[in-house]
Amino acid sequence: MYYNKEMIRVSFSALQRIRSKTSSTYRKQQKKLKLRIKLAVYGTIIVVSALCGLIAAHFYQAAATATANAPRTAKMAARQNADSDSSLSDHSTQDNPLFATSPSWSQNFTSQTSKLLDARYWNVLVGPAENSNNEQQYYTNNVANLRIENGALRLIASKQDQPGGYKYGSARIETQAKQTFLYGRIDIVAKLPSGVGTWPAVWLLPANDIYAKKSPESNLLRYKNGGEIDIIEAVGFEPDVMYGVAHTASDLSRRSDGTGQYSTVTVPGSSTSFNKYTLLWTPTSVTFAVNDKPYYTYARPQGADYATWPFDQPFYLIANLAMGGSWGGMDTAHYPGNGIDDSVLPASLDIRSIHYYPYVGAKDIK
């Protein structure tokens, strides 16, 4: 085949120019594309960095807020764990119109630094229980059994040899001849012990013997003439069950076992948290309440005398933690001998505060 060399040369030169032009255009387009990619990447990096900064600032602010609130949050949690009702704090007022707004007598153990009771108001008993309940404790004034710590007065029962062959030490305190009460509201913020064999109580006895003297000294039950009010009473074999009891000389005629007029209420967590136990005492009734909720009232009967209503005289306050006995030690089926589970000891009745608001209502009885 015949080829024209000049034509081939011209054609080849033209082709080279076309290729050169095309390559130049392609390179320009590639540079533009790379630039756009770089700009997009840089833009993405800037946006992501900004977002990261915003997120970091948010978490930093949240962490700072949590840190600032940590003490307050811890205090709130501690307060909620300490008791289930904010009214259980060291309150100094009440709003029942039958009683004074402010207390006339208070014992606040929440802020007391001394481990000792105020001797102006309290007697500490030393010796065995002076009753017929067959209790197993010997009361001491040792700090092992009675002390103030962690914002509470603690009456502690322990397994420890005591004088007279007693195997348990415990505590009993009272205000006899030092502080008396006649009508009024008494609030006691307390945490009870747990364990079979424990028998805690906070109660009132008459400050004088005016009614006891109405029976001959040969009558061993004549002390009942004066009455007794149990604001707090519980036994370990009935967990979280609280008794409010009004004892009178008529107990034996009303109940065969002579246990007095009473009712019970369940107080969940009574041994793990503080609760407020209240007596509302007027000239015509005694009412028992837990955390401001009344659960039992003993009313003055019509035509009452000392045998059915001895609660018109001054009383003094007692707090004690008994072990075993005729009621506290009834569970001998599980704990033969004395009905006490030694494994729960030491156990304590802890009292955080006591407030007495005098009665200001009418005193005339119709």
Helix (H, G, I), strand (E, B) or coil at 216: coil
State the Cα–Cα distance between residues 360 and 98, nearest whole angstrom. 6
Please check whether residue 135 is in contact with residue 199, taking contact to mean a CB–CB distance below 8 angstroms.
yes
Report the pLDDT value the prediction gives residue 80, as an integer from 0 to 100. 40
How do residues 155-195 score in pLDDT, each as one tens digit? 999 999 999 999 999 999 999 999 999 999 999 999 999 99
Q: How confident is the model at residue 256 (pLDDT cuts 50, 70, 90)?
A: confident
Q: Catalytic annotation on 6?
A: no
Q: How many CB atoms lie within 10 A of CB 253?
A: 11
How do residues 320-357 score in pLDDT, each as one tens digit? 999 999 999 999 999 999 999 999 999 999 999 999 99
Q: Catalytic annotation on 228?
A: yes
Please pick, among 6, 149, 174, 233, the residue that the annotation labels catalytic: 233
Report the range of poorest mean pLDDT among 6-20, 48-62, 165-179, 254-268.
Answer: 6-20
Report the pLDDT value the prediction gives residue 349, as an integer from 0 to 100. 98
How do residues 42-78 score in pLDDT, each as one tens digit? 555 554 455 555 555 554 454 444 444 444 444 343 3
Report the pLDDT value the prediction gives residue 259, as an integer from 0 to 100. 83
Retrieve residue 307's tokens. 């045998």
Report the pLDDT value the prediction gives residue 186, as an integer from 0 to 100. 98
Report the pLDDT value the prediction gives residue 253, as an integer from 0 to 100. 83
Report the pLDDT value the prediction gives residue 72, as an integer from 0 to 100. 44
Please check whether residue 225 is in contact with residue 183, taking contact to mean a CB–CB distance below 8 angstroms.
no
Q: Given a cut of 80, is residue 93 above it in pLDDT?
A: no
**Nearest to 188, CA basis, from 353, 365, 21:** 353
Residues 6+ apart with CB under 8 A from 298: 246, 261, 285, 286, 287
Burial class (CB in 10 A: 0-12, 13-18, 19+), 30: exposed
Radius of gyration of the chain (CA): 40
Please pick, among 6, 217, 228, 238, the residue that the annotation labels catalytic: 228
Q: How many CB atoms lie within 10 A of CB 260?
A: 22
The pLDDT of 93-100, averaged and rounded, is: 92
State the Cα–Cα distance between residues 351 and 37, nearest whole angstrom. 76
State the Cα–Cα distance between residues 242 and 189, nearest whole angstrom. 14
Report the C-alpha dihedral over residues 307, 179, 290, 351, rounded to 10 degrees.
Answer: -130
Please check whether residue 96 is in contact with residue 185, taking contact to mean a CB–CB distance below 8 angstroms.
yes
| Greatest C-alpha distance within the chain | 161
**Is the overall model pTM greater than 0.85, yes or no?**
no
On average, the pLDDT of the chain sits at 84
Helix (H, G, I), strand (E, B) or coil at 58: helix
State the Cα–Cα distance between residues 18 and 72, nearest whole angstrom. 81
State the Cα–Cα distance between residues 125 and 127, nearest whole angstrom. 7
Checking DSSP bridges between strand 228-233 and strand 241-247, what pairing results, if any? antiparallel
Retrieve residue 336's tokens. 């033969």
